[in-house]
A and B are shown apart, each in its own frame.
Chain A
Amino acid sequence: MSRGVVFSLALLAASLSMLVMARPPSSQSAPHAVGSEACKDCHQDQWQAFQHNPHARAEMDQAVVADQVGCESCHGPGSAHVEAGGDRSDPGFASIRNFKTLSAKDASEVCASCHKAGEQFYWEHSSHARNDVSCVQCHSIHHAKNEGAGPMLTASDVNHLCITCHKDKRAALARSAHMPLREGSMTCVDCHNPHGAPAARMIRAATVNELCYKCHADKRGPFLWEHPPVRENCLNCHQPHGSNNDKVLAGKRPYLCQRCHVGTRHPSTLYDKPDLLANRLFNRSCTNCHSQIHGSNHPSGKYFHR
């Protein structure tokens, strides 16, 4: 018998013995489920709020949800906690799951035991999961602040929730040219799936352009005459979170256009103060004439005039 086999057997035996020793004394029974009614007396606010919660309805559909339903489906079996009778020094008191003390991964795993399809399909791979953001940082089962329409959020609306962490976006959304997020007609989750997505920045499409076409399908084409950087990435010219330039452009026209077009005739011209009375600088600048800048389907539209 080789030394390796002996070593392996010894390691196995040691592991088994440790497992046996680690078992709880037979006199201490493992906590078991006692039902949600047992929670009602001490946690009246939470219990009451839970009755208004979609999860309370799910409780009645045991065939399609987890085996344990009600409070214990998330907090775990509560018999020991109940037996502790509020005595924090009793080891049984802490036997239930307290989401305030769980690690982000452990907390999210509880939610993911049911929510693992549809929107949450890519949760484990999301930037939020990887950066220790847990479900309960954004959602509250018992104390949602947007009881009306939203998915039990910890803030009054989605946008306010997101900018809590994404502070640079808060300033961007305040810029003069913006999409209707601060007015509440759009939310961050219209474009991003905070639960994860198979694309960079957790956008709700495989590419940026595909995402933009959901609302701007007019720009989808294909066109007879394409403007190549438009076809490749809308973000070459636009800043979707807000900009100081008309049409959320990344730069003011004509300077934005002149970053790529310095060719002969007027595109290369320096437009400075004396040229303020030039229609190539004023109003919509280059797009005063090249209005079909996203692409043209006109046989005479190669230069996006028609």
Chain B
Amino acid sequence: MSPVSTVSSRLIYDALKACDIRLLSALPETWLVHLVRMADDDPEMTLVRLAKEEEGVGISAGAHLAGVKSAMLMQNHGFLASINGIVSCAQLYRIPLLMLVSFRGEFGERDPWQTEGGAVTEDLLRALRIPFSYLDHPDHVARRIATAQTLALSANKPVALLLCRDLMWEEG
């Protein structure tokens, strides 16, 4: 039984649908497995599985200009892999971009390869002036996703939500 929280994933997924998100681009990682499966099973959602996360920035930009709301599901290392696309496509062209980024390499992380990425994620988001917040408790998931999307649309910019271990990982 995977310790990734299905309950939290369902809260997140439903909140995305409530914001009229109809396309999700994803490069899965452990914490995102249920979210990706929910998107795959949902006939109202277009799931685009990527080879590299940066592609998702372009795909979301195209979807947005076409009038369809989308979001990206990726690990924080995927965010690192996307940075040029975020800066020279989403920011340069003022494209709203909701990014759900799983926050690996933080307190509680057992995988050593994740730890460098965890250390730089928040500073990079700040350096790029990407507004961000944390999803770390079920009580605020729906509201934070809705308000993140509201800001992305009014600012015409990328906004990030960091999916935290306390929300996503069920383990004693």
The judgment on whether A and B are partners is no
